[in-house]
Amino acid sequence: MENNKNSDIKKKAENKNNPAKKNSFRRTIIIGIGLFTAGLIVLLIVCNLTFLRYPFLYTTCDGNAEIIWYIGKGEKIVIPEYIAGKPVTGIWDNVFKDHEELVDITLPSTLKGMGEVLFMVVQVSK
C-alpha cells in the first residue's frame, strides 16, 4: 500500500513538472485570450457601426424600438421614426439627462409613450 502512495506521489510530481503539459495549458490559455479578444473586437466594430448611424442606445420588443439612452452631441437632434427597420414607439426615463446642450428635439410621429422624467433641467435661462 505504501508503494502505491509513493508511486502516486511520484506520478503527480512528474505530471506537475512535465513541460509538455505546461505548454499545453499555456497554449489553451493563449487561444482562449485570443478568441476573447477577437470576439470583443467584432462586438466593438458592430456597436460602433450602429452608433455611427444612430446616436442612441435602444432596445427592441414586440417589433418596436425604444430609445434607452442618448449618446450623441449637439444642440439639435431628430429622433427617427424607424431604427433598424422598427418603429420608434418609446423613450425611457432620463434619456437626455446631462445633455444641457440640447435646445431642439424633434420627436417621431410613431412615438406612443415617454418616460416620466425625460429631461433633467439643471438651469433655465430667461
Specify the pLDDT at position 33.
Answer: 93
Same structural domain, 41 and 62 = no
- Domain containing 72: what range? 55-126
Q: What is the pLDDT along the chain (126 residues), one digit of tens a residue?
A: 555 655 666 565 565 666 666 678 888 899 999 999 888 887 766 655 555 577 888 888 888 999 988 888 888 888 899 988 899 999 988 888 888 888 888 889 999 988 876 665 444 334
Query: Grid coordinates standing for 84?
Result: 433598424
Q: Is the pTM of this model over 0.75?
A: no
Q: How far is CA 111 from CA 6, 19, 75, 85, 100, in A?
A: 76, 64, 21, 15, 23
Same structural domain, 1 and 22 = yes
**How many domains would you assign to the chain?**
2
Q: How many CB atoms lie within 10 A of CB 96?
A: 18
Q: Rounded to the nearest 10 degrees, how much is the dihedral formed by the CA atoms of 61, 65, 66, 72? A: 140
Same structural domain, 40 and 62 = no
Same structural domain, 24 and 70 = no
Same structural domain, 43 and 96 = no
Same structural domain, 27 and 79 = no
Report the distance separating Cα 113 and Cα 44, nearest Å. Answer: 30
Same structural domain, 41 and 67 = no
